[in-house]
Amino acid sequence: MRKFLCRLLLFLIPFYFVGVFLIVVYYIGYMTGEFRDFGRLMEEQRQDHTIFIGMGYHEQTAYYKLENANYYQADVLVLGTSRVMQFENDYFDTSFYNCGGAVGWNYDQYLNFVKNLNYTPKIIILGLDQWVFNDTWNRQCIPYESYEPIGMEQRSKISMEWKMIEDFINGKWDFQSINRYPMNFGFNGRAKDTGYQWDGSYYYGTIYRETDEKEEDRFTDTFKRIEDGRSRFEWGEHADEKTCGHLETFLRYCKGRGIQVIGFAPPFAPSVYDRITASGKYGYLDEMNAKCGELFWKYGYEYFDYTNVSALGVDDSYFVDGFHGSSVVYACMTKDMVGQGRALKGYVREEKLEKLLGERYNNKMLKDLIHKG
């Protein structure tokens, strides 16, 4: 009997360690915020604006942005994909919230987001990603009904835990890295100091603070996309009329609600823009700019083309990657919108913006937000 029990215990030892490991991973998921109630995380960030929310396995961007937009009820909203997430509250002299990342496809999705708001903002700054106007890319877009509610996306803790274990085995995180920045929520926030700030803008952590990396190294992937004509950089000659129709429906709706819309084409890094132009395979960009200008003028709105931002004194060193400008780039664009247009007059304190730009930490970052973990 004793021999049998000894053998049984030896047999169970591996299962014991596996069980302990699963418990530890589950605890880490809870500790980092990945397994915690997401609404509670938002409440804590509202109370402490130094917290970043950078989820790795339980991202809820559309829900997060909608809930916060309805909570803050800001006069100025930014709406678009990840390419608008660098507008920050500090640029403005009024209430502001950045809904960047809440949408990503055609403009009936943008319209659906606005219909989910429980209040009416005064101004929407609208990012118009260039590739959305390229039929070669956007034909995969899923059309929306007249209204679809935005809620929490459910994901089981078991599936998240298995993904965490898979990433641990593949060396994507370790027990030391996920506690570098304990004031943040989520794996990305804890390990990389990246995530959403309280105003909805996105902080890029160490990328903002790196100054010695060769700029061309950050653009290699984008250059390859242009060369191959893939992954948002599909070649295309003409602007898609269907997208223009979706955009006009959005503008018409906002006009009826008394919302002022400011449209802009987000910037590419100057060297990326040069590659696009030299390729001769993106004729739809000129058509897009002309059509957007006409549509915004038709509804009495302003439109700005920042596809090439070299004229603003911006070079490659200001960019996070080939098609994501930094917070400094978007501060320069905000300054230009105020100088060239009328819609933002009174909403931006120009002398404050000048001071922020003049005292910036580096070409990517307006102020030093380095977290001491």
Please give the full DSSP string across 166-226, using - where no structure is assigned. HHHHTTS--TTGGGSSTTSBSHHHHHH--EE-TTS-EE-THHHH--SS-HHHHHHHHHHHH
> Is 368 within the bounds of a domain?
no
Whether 307 is in a domain gets the answer: yes
- Which of 315, 338, 332 minimizes the C-alpha distance to 366? 332
Please check whether residue 208 lies inside any domain of the structure.
yes
| Cβ count near 9 (within 10 Å) | 10
> b/e per residue, 89-104, with b = 16+ CB within 10 A?
bbbbeebbbbbbbbbe
Tokens representing 312 are: 């603003």
Instruction: Give average pLDDT by consecutive 10-residue segment, the chain, 373 residues.
Output: 55 56 84 93 96 93 97 98 95 95 86 96 97 82 80 86 89 87 94 94 84 70 94 92 91 97 97 96 94 97 97 94 95 96 91 91 81 49
The reported pLDDT for the residue numbered 5 is: 52
Q: Is the dihedral of CA 310, 316, 318, 320 positive or negative?
A: positive
Measured distance CA(78)–CA(266) in Å, rounded: 12
Question: How many domains is the chain built from?
Answer: 1
Q: What is the pLDDT of residue 1?
A: 61
Q: Please name which of 166, 74, 165 lies closest in space to residue 117, comparing C-alpha atoms.
A: 74
Evaluate whether residue 364 is within a structural domain.
no
Look at residue 215 in the predicted model and tell me its pLDDT.
62
In a domain, residue 246? The reply is: yes
- Sequence-distant (6+) residues with CB within 8 A of 342 are 302
DSSP single-letter state for residue 324: E
In-domain check, residue 363: no
Domain that holds residue 103: 2-358
Q: Does 282 fall in a domain?
A: yes
* Sign of torsion over alpha carbons 175, 176, 182, 184: negative
Spell out the alpha helix ranges (H) of the chain: 2-32, 38-47, 61-72, 107-115, 135-138, 157-169, 187-192, 206-209, 215-228, 241-257, 270-279, 284-298, 327-340, 350-358
| Region of residue 108 (phi > 0: left; psi between -120 and 50: alpha; otherwise: beta) | alpha
Does some domain include residue 366? no
Model pLDDT, residue 12:
46
Query: Within its chain, how far is the Cα of 18 from the centroid?
Result: 37
Q: According to the model, what pLDDT value does residue 157 have?
A: 86
Q: Which residues contact 343 (CB under 8 A, 6 or more apart)?
A: 123, 260, 262, 301, 302, 337
